[in-house]
Amino acid sequence: MAENDNYSGMVDGINGLIDRQIFSNEKIYSIELEKVFTRSWLLVGHETQIPSNGDFITSRMGAESVILCRDSNGKIHVFLNTCTHRGMKVCLYDEGNTATFTCPFHAWSFATDGKLVGVPHEKELYSKSLNKEKWSLIEVSQMFNYKGSIWATWDKSAPNFIEYLGGAKAHLDFALDSLDGSEGGTEVFGGVHKWISPCNWKVPAENFCGDSYHNVSHISVDMVGIGPSAGSGEKGRRDNELADAQHLWISFPGGHGIHSAMKPANNEYIEAYKDNPIVEEYYRHCYQERELKLGERARIVPFVGTIFPNTSFHGRQPRALCSWHPNGPQSSQISRFFLVDKVAPKEVKDLVRRYYMRYAGPAGMTEQDDMENWNQATASCSGAIARRFPFNYQQSMGDYKINDPVPGMVSTQMTEENARQFYKCWASYMESQDWKKIMSHPAQTALGNDT
């Protein structure tokens, strides 16, 4: 099936059937790197990871290493981490501060704005041939600093980031804005989770785009209770701040899938973070401030989401941005940084930091169980017999409304619609469709309203 390039056929949203080969086939994987990851907007990092001029971190776009750095004038850049001469990595470090990136191989040297500034024996060896202007580090085609989070794409013709986000922006904001509703104001904790998980990158991306059906897989952690009020006897993996809210599963043009919730009109605060009174007070105060600032809009509260293709976020418990980097058809390299309000008191930062650690990632009690499931689900897709049988994506077929009660393609019951739309968008990239087609979606009018 992978041989005929009929990607739309592999992801049959009408009948709710997805071909397992898209999670295992080597050829499909290599085409994804070419057609999905060179065009879509990818998360690279966060500006608070590089606060001073000359600061850098290394990150990844698709399967390739990139450098995120702040040049000597304070401008942020994203470069491919490869020497333009012979390809060696010009930066070997996870983070640091530098005036230049000097290649260890032949010592070509690049300034933090990417310009080639040093070529050993330049006069003797290159005076007749080399135009240094043309051999800068390879820089992304578009970069965007969205409330501190840094995104980039290799496609000049891609819609700008805000247009690309469309209606999903309002939901990503929950992770990036301060809890009291003011714009931005979040920072990243030091320490980035980076690990390798034997799953296809689309499995966790889909998991975060609204697969609430997998809730049952976390029963062990719900039974023991690890949330920010667990010390006060609360069960569950998080405080149930959404207890009285209507959950919303929302798909947006561009393949983004969001799971948020809407509080009742009276929008009452539900007590949370009870293990420390200072922290409880901070969340209560922020909740009230947010309602004053945002009014009716404050009724929408965050849960999770995936910005196509491979960036996911947790809006609150635990608040983080995560990239599922492709690392082979059956392997992902994952990186995640965690967010907190810059102005939050030390008690808040300390409590949420410890909560994030026990919840998320390979050492986290909740996500460990995800990892096991993502691993085995991926492994099944290479079976000669198993791969003849598509996965079932028929949950809540047709049960959605457009722009009701919020913008987007909205379901008020658990649904796999977000996943169906995610894969439909994936097929458009795989078939080299133009941006108009990629962004076409049942809720397209919502995009128009939002941008």
Partner 1 sequence: MNDLGAKNKVRRDDYYYRLKQEIEEFLYDEAELLDQRNFREWLDILSDDLIYFMPIRRNVKFGTHNEKENTREGYDISWFEEDKWTLSKRIDQIYTGKHWAEEPLSRVSRMITNIQLQNVKPTMQEPCEVGIKSRFLIYQNRSETECNSFYGKRSDILRLESGVWKLIRREIILDQNILMAKNLSIFF
Q: For binding to partner 1 (CB under 8 A), which residues are involved?
A: 92-96, 189-198, 217, 219-221, 223-226, 230-231, 333, 337-338, 350, 353-354, 356-358, 361-363, 365, 368-369, 371-373, 375-376
Beta carbons of 44 and 66 less than 8 angstroms apart = yes
- Of the pair 157, 220, the CB lying nearest partner 1 is at 220
* Nearer to partner 1 among residue 341 and residue 417 (C-beta): 341
Buried b / exposed e over 96-118, threshold 16 CB at 10 Å, is eebeebbbeeeebbbbbbbebbe
Is beta strand 332-341 parallel, antiparallel or unpaired with respect to 320-326?
A: antiparallel
Is residue 344 within 8 Å of 298, Cβ to Cβ?
no
How many CA atoms, within 13 angstroms, populate the side-chain half-sphere of residue 42?
Answer: 28
Of the pair 57, 439, the CB lying nearest partner 1 is at 57
Residue 94 or 244 with smaller CB distance to partner 1: 94
Residue 365 beta carbon to partner 1: minimum distance, rounded to whole angstroms: 6
Closer residue to partner 1 in complex, CB, 319/420: 319
Shortest gap between Cβ of 366 and partner 1 (angstroms)? Answer: 10
Q: How far apart are CA 330 and CA 235, in angstroms?
A: 35
Burial class (CB in 10 A: 0-12, 13-18, 19+), 198: middle
Of 243, 378, 264, 238, nearest in space to 320 by CA: 238
> CA 413 to CA 417: how far, in whole Å?
10
Two tokens at 273? 């973070």
Task: Report in angstroms how near the CB of residue 356 gets to partner 1 at its nearest.
Answer: 6
Per DSSP, what are the bridge partners of residue 197? 332
For the bound state, the minimum distance from the C-beta of residue 384 to partner 1, rounded and expressed in Å, comes to: 18
Q: How far is the CB of 219 from partner 1 (least distance, A)?
A: 5
CB within 8 A of 350, min separation 6: which ones? Answer: none
CB of 239 to partner 1, least distance (A): 16
Among residues 71 and 350, whose Cβ is nearest to partner 1?
350
The vertex-29 CA angle with 23 and 35, nearest 5°, equals: 125
**Both tokens assigned to 210:** 């609204």
Least spacing, CB of residue 354 vs partner 1, in Å: 6
User: In Å, how far are 4, 294, 431 from 32, measured between CA atoms?
Assistant: 15, 40, 10
Task: State in angstroms the smallest separation of the CB of 164 from partner 1.
Answer: 28
* Closest separation in Å from C-beta 152 to partner 1: 21
Q: Of the two residues 13 and 227, which places its CB atom closer to partner 1 in the complex? A: 227
Q: Looking at this protein, which amino acid is placed at residue 415?
A: T
| Helix H or strand E segment including 294 | helix 277-294
Q: Which is nearer to partner 1, 107 or 162 (CB)?
A: 107
Tokens of 135: 């051999």
Helices (H), 385-432: 417-430
Judged by beta carbon, residue 12 or residue 95, the one nearer partner 1 is: 95
Distance of CA 325 to the CA centre of its chain: 10
